[in-house]
Amino acid sequence: MNKRTIFHRSISLVGLSGLIAVVVTGAFAEDNKPSKKLVVGFSQVGAESGWRTANTESIKSEAAKRGVDLRFSDAQQKEENQIKAIRSFIAEGVDVIAFSPVVETGFEPVLQEAKKAGIPVVLSDRAVKVSDPSLYKCFIGSDFIEEGRRAANEVAKLTGGKANVAELVGTVGSAPAIDRKKGFEEVMAKYPDMKIIMSQSGDFTRAKGKEVMEAFLKAPNAKDINVLFAHNDDMALGAIQAMEEAGIKPGVDIKIVSIDGVRGAFEAMKDGKLNVTVECNPLLGPQLFDLIEAVAAGKEVPHRVVTQEGVYEQSQAAAELPKRQY
Ligand code: GZL
């Protein structure tokens, strides 16, 4: 596999899981009887994308494998539903609360309540902005700024540094949308002939991505677009449909760079309709539950664990497709 894997300066997961493996075996009571079933409350963003479906599957299957009593709640991309779910986990007295925050802000009060109740919190996939970092034990997820940088570098390679970019932004206020844009614009600033000429949120969904791309193609300067940067593959796949309905060849007339690395993106690359997908690994279940079990055992864990990811170009799609797990 010639995937260009870029290793983050992350905690070595082997070392970490090695450490946690030692910790987990220490979770048994003195008389060596298994301790009570671990009860974990998990609030998930929703079911908005292929990435999210794979992420949920990874979490649920890992919990089942470990015999964890998982209380799972789908927030349907609404922050108030996540806050409600976290409050109910506190009332149930779960051992650990984990969640993927739909947006960065607004969670401080309920996290204070969890801390007061003595229930540790682990962030999965996305981060929150809080004044007190002790409100959560660990955040495991991607480096979204780096994903944005990689996407912009791929745009520069595809266009020789001459790009008028239409941007499909993720969910407004979410960490991936904010940070992918930040990283993308940081690299764009190095190329005087690369600029974003239109930008709008498609909320990480395929349907909204199609709708916004239709609007982009009706704009007075639509003819200038030569690149689409989509914050996730689902919006890119919706945009591809919109382009084809408008008689535009996706991946040819307009180059497309997106993020996630879901199966649909590899199929689109194989068909020449997508040019690059920057991987964002949803299969967090095993690492997440290593951390949750360590936290439940009262052990120290790193405050930040960055997942390992790569970048895939069209030429790699056919070989990679059979290996994709999501
Ligand atoms: C990224 C994740 C994002 C994906 C989208 O870690 O939070 O949310 O990129 C998903 O596909 O909707």
- Give 186's pLDDT tier (boundaries 50, 70, 90): very high
Band of pLDDT at residue 36, cut at 50, 70 and 90: confident
Task: Please check whether residues 159 and 266 belong to one and the same domain.
Answer: yes
Q: What is the total count of domains within the chain?
A: 2
CATH number at residue 160: 3.40.50.2300
Identity (one letter) of the amino acid at 271?
D
Cβ–ligand 1 contact at 201 (below 6 Å): no
CB distance 52 to ligand 1 below 6 Å: yes
Say whether both 274 and 228 belong to one domain. Answer: yes
Residue 240 resides in a domain:
yes
Report yes or no on 130 lying in a domain.
Answer: yes
> Mean pLDDT over residues 111-138, rounded?
98
What is the span of the domain harbouring residue 84?
39-141+282-308
**Ligand 1, closest atom to CA 234?**
11
What's the gap in Å between 269 CA and the centre of ligand 1?
Answer: 20
- Residues 183 and 262 reside in one and the same domain: yes
Q: For residues 148 and 250, state if they share a domain.
A: yes
The pTM (predicted TM-score) of the whole model is: 0.89
User: CA angle 154-224-240, nearest 5°?
Assistant: 60
Q: Is 99 in the pocket of ligand 1 (CB under 6 A)?
A: no
> What digits encode the pLDDT tens for the residues 233-245?
999 999 999 999 9
Residues 269 and 288 in one domain: no
Q: What is the mean pLDDT of residues 144-169?
A: 98
Mutate to test the pocket of ligand 1, among 260, 262, 326 (most ligand atoms within 8 A of CB): 260
The candidate with the shortest Cα–Cα distance to 240, out of 188, 166, 185, 312, is: 166
**Is 16 a member of any domain?**
no
What integer pLDDT is reported at residue 21 of this predicted model?
38
Judge if 79 and 152 occupy the same domain: no
- My answer on whether 104 and 253 are in the same domain is no
Mean pLDDT of the chain: 92
- pLDDT exceeds 60 at position 4: no
Residue 54 falls within a domain, yes or no? yes
The answer on 217 and 191 residing in a single domain is: yes
Q: From the CA of 3, how far away is ligand 1's center (Å)?
A: 21
> Which of 294, 293, 291, 257 shows the shortest CA–CA distance to 273?
257
Structure tokens at 282: 């949803």
C-alpha span between 77 and 127 (Å, rounded): 15
97 lies in the same domain as 84: yes
Are 163 and 133 in contact by the 8 Å Cβ rule? The answer is no
Last residue of a domain, one of 280, 295, 319: 280
How many whole angstroms from 201 Cα to the centroid of ligand 1? Answer: 13
Residue 323 lies in a domain: no
Helices 79-92 and 108-116: angle between axes, nearest 10 degrees: 10
Q: Say how far apart CA 56 and CA 47 lie, in whole Å.
A: 8
For 36, the token pair is 């009570």
Q: How far is the CA of 314 from the centre of ligand 1 (A)?
A: 21
Is the pLDDT reported for residue 283 higher than 80?
Answer: yes
**61-92 tens-digit pLDDT:** 999 999 999 999 999 999 999 999 999 999 99
Q: 224 C-alpha to center of ligand 1: Å?
A: 29
Q: What's the longest Cα–Cα distance across the chain?
A: 74
* Domain co-membership, 45 together with 97: yes
Residue 57: CB atoms within 10 A of its CB come to 15
In this structure, the answer to whether residues 162 and 248 fall within a common structural domain is yes
Ligand 1 centroid, distance to 89 Cα (angstroms):
24
Going from the Cα of 100 to the center of ligand 1, the distance in angstroms, rounded, reads 10
Whether 32 is covered by a domain: the verdict is: no
Q: Whose CA is nearest to atom 11 of ligand 1?
A: 51
Is 272 within the bounds of a domain?
A: yes
Q: What is the number of the ligand 1 atom nearest to the C-alpha of 142?
A: 6
Same domain, 137 and 151: no
Judge whether 77 lies within some domain: yes
Pocket test for ligand 1, best of 8, 49, 102, 172 (most atoms within 8 A of CB): 49
